[in-house]
C-alpha cells in the first residue's frame, strides 16, 4: 500500500506593504519643523511641538522620519531642493552662458541670503550640530547636491564650447563661494548696513562674480 501524499501547506499571502505614507502630512511636518527649528533652535523644539504645529500625531512624525536628527536634516534638505531645484541648472544652450550663470547666481544668492537660511547657517555652526554630525549630513544633502548639479551644467556648456575648465568640481565650488562673497558673511554676522543685500549693490556683486568666473573659464567668444 502506498503511503498517503503529505499535506502541503497553502502558500502564505505576500506581505502587505502597508498604507503608503501620506505625502501631505509629510510636507506639513517638514514645513512645521523648518519654521520651528529656525525660530527656537534644535534643542528648543520637541517632536511633540512639531507634531502639534503640523496637525498630526507624534507617532506620525516618528513613522515618517524616525527621530529628530533625521527630521532636522530632511527639513534642511527640503529647503535647498525647493529653492534650488534641478530645473535651475538646465543648460538652455539657446541662451548665452553669461545669462545662464547670472540666473543661477541670482537663485543661489536669494536662497542663502533669505532670513531663514541665514538663521539656519548660524544653527548649523552651533556646537550641538557639529557634535551630532548633522552639519556634515546637511552638507552632503544640500550644498554638495547643488554643486554637483551645477558641475553637470558646466560640463554641458563645456561640451557646447562656451567654457574651458580642467577641474569642473573645483570650478563649481569656486563659483558658489564667489556668489556668497562678503555680503553673505556680513549677513551671518548681522553687520550689514540697511538694505545692503538688495538692489543695485546685489546686482553689481553678482555681475562682477559672473564676469570674474568667465574671465577664468570662458572661451575667447564668451570671456568678458
Q: What is the CATH number of the domain that holds 57?
A: 1.10.10.60
Q: Does 211 lie in the same domain as 171?
A: yes
Q: For residues 211 and 196, what is the distance between their CA atoms, to the nearest angstrom?
A: 21
Q: Which residues contact 22 (CB under 8 A, 6 or more apart)?
A: 60
Nearest of 105, 109, 119 to residue 190 by alpha carbon: 119
pLDDT > 50? residue 2:
no
Average pLDDT over residues 136-160: 92
Q: Which helix (H) or strand (E) element contains residue 122? A: helix 115-124
Mean pLDDT for all residues in the chain: 85
Q: Does 132 lie in the same domain as 48?
A: no
Q: Does 38 lie in the same domain as 113?
A: no
Which has more confidence, 100 or 126? 100
Which has more confidence, 56 or 132? 56
Residue 59 lies in a domain: yes
Q: How many domains, in total, are found in the chain?
A: 2
Residue 8 lies in a domain: no
Q: Which of 44, 71, 98 corresponds to the end of one domain?
A: 71
Residue 195 lies in a domain: yes
Percent of the chain with pLDDT over 70: 88
Tens of pLDDT, residue by residue over 160-181, are: 999 999 999 999 999 999 999 9
Q: How far is CA 38 from the centre of its chain?
A: 15
- Give me the domain span that covers residue 196: 84-217
Tens of pLDDT, residue by residue over 186-221, are: 888 888 766 555 678 899 999 999 999 999 999 999
Tens of pLDDT, residue by residue over 10-46, are: 343 333 333 445 899 999 999 999 889 878 878 889 9
Amino acid at each position: 500500500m502506498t503511503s498517503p501524499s503529505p499535506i502541503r501547506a497553502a502558500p502564505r499571502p505576500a506581505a502587505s506593504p502597508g498604507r503608503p505614507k501620506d505625502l501631505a502630512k509629510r510636507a506639513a511636518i517638514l514645513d512645521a519643523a523648518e519654521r520651528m527649528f529656525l525660530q527656537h533652535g534644535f534643542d528648543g523644539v520637541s517632536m511633540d511641538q512639531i507634531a502639534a504645529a503640523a496637525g498630526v500625531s507624534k507617532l506620525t512624525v516618528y513613522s515618517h522620519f524616525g527621530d529628530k536628527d533625521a527630521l532636522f536634516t530632511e527639513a534642511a534638505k527640503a529647503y535647498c531642493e525647493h529653492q534650488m531645484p534641478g530645473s535651475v541648472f538646465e543648460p538652455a544652450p539657446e541662451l548665452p552662458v553669461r545669462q545662464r550663470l547670472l540666473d543661477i547666481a541670482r537663485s543661489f544668492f536669494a536662497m542663502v541670503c533669505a532670513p531663514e537660511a541665514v538663521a539656519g547657517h548660524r544653527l548649523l555652526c552651533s556646537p550641538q550640530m557639529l557634535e551630532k554630525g548633522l552639519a556634515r549630513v546637511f552638507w552632503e544633502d544640500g550644498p554638495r547636491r547643488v554643486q554637483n548639479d551645477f558641475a553637470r551644467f558646466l560640463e554641458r556648456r563645456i561640451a557646447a564650447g562656451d567654457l574651458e575648465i580642467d577641474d569642473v568640481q573645483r570650478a563649481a565650488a569656486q563659483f558658489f563661494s564667489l556668489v556668497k562673497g562678503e555680503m553673505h558673511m556680513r549677513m551671518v554676522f548681522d553687520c550689514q548696513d540697511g538694505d545692503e543685500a538688495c538692489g543695485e549693490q546685489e546686482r553689481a556683486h553678482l555681475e562682477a562674480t559672473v564676469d570674474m568666473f568667465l574671465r577664468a573659464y570662458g572661451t575667447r567668444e564668451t570671456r568678458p
